[in-house]
């Protein structure tokens, strides 16, 4: 089953539609990882609740600008290395994760609203 991760952080404009389409299992794994890396305990709890709820649609616009920035920071700085550990030798899985990193970098480079 597929999932959607919409990279639409508050405060950015001209993003177009930045949508990452992993499997639901991959989305859950990524969000659990992010929950373990963010500094905001309330944000970490929210991400864990999202995963526990079994949802398949995640959007950064559902968070404050600071929370979305923290999520994107973890993705940009730590997710590639985590994916290499999770999927050693599986270039296809690592490429799927790299797509999210690229979308986050594109969103971060977009002008502020």
pLDDT in tens, 53-81: 999 999 999 999 999 999 999 999 999 99
Domain housing 45: 4-109
Q: At what angle do helices 41-53 and 65-74 cross, to 10 degrees?
A: 80
Name 100's Cβ contacts closer than 8 Å, sequence gap at least 6: 5, 7, 20, 22, 30, 75, 79
pLDDT of the residue at 1: 81
pLDDT of the residue at 62: 95
This prediction has a pTM of 0.95
Number of domains in the chain: 1
Q: Report whether 101 contacts 79 (CB < 8 A).
A: yes
pLDDT of the residue at 105: 96
Q: How confident is the model over 5-58, as pLDDT tens digits?
A: 999 999 987 788 899 999 999 999 999 999 999 999 999 999 999 999 999 999
């Amino acid at each position: 089953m597929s999932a959607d991760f919409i990279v639409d952080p508050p405060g950015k404009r001209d993003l177009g539609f930045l949508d990452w389409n992993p499997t639901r299992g991959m989305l859950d794994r990524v969000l659990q990882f992010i929950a373990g890396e963010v500094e905001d305990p309330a944000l970490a709890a929210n991400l864990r609740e999202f995963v526990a709820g079994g949802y398949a649609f995640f959007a950064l616009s559902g968070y404050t600008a600071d929370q979305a920035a923290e999520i994107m920071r973890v993705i940009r700085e730590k997710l590639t290395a985590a994916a290499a550990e999770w999927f050693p030798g599986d270039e296809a899985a690592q490429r799927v994760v790299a797509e999210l990193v690229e979308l986050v970098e594109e969103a971060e480079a977009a002008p502020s609203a």
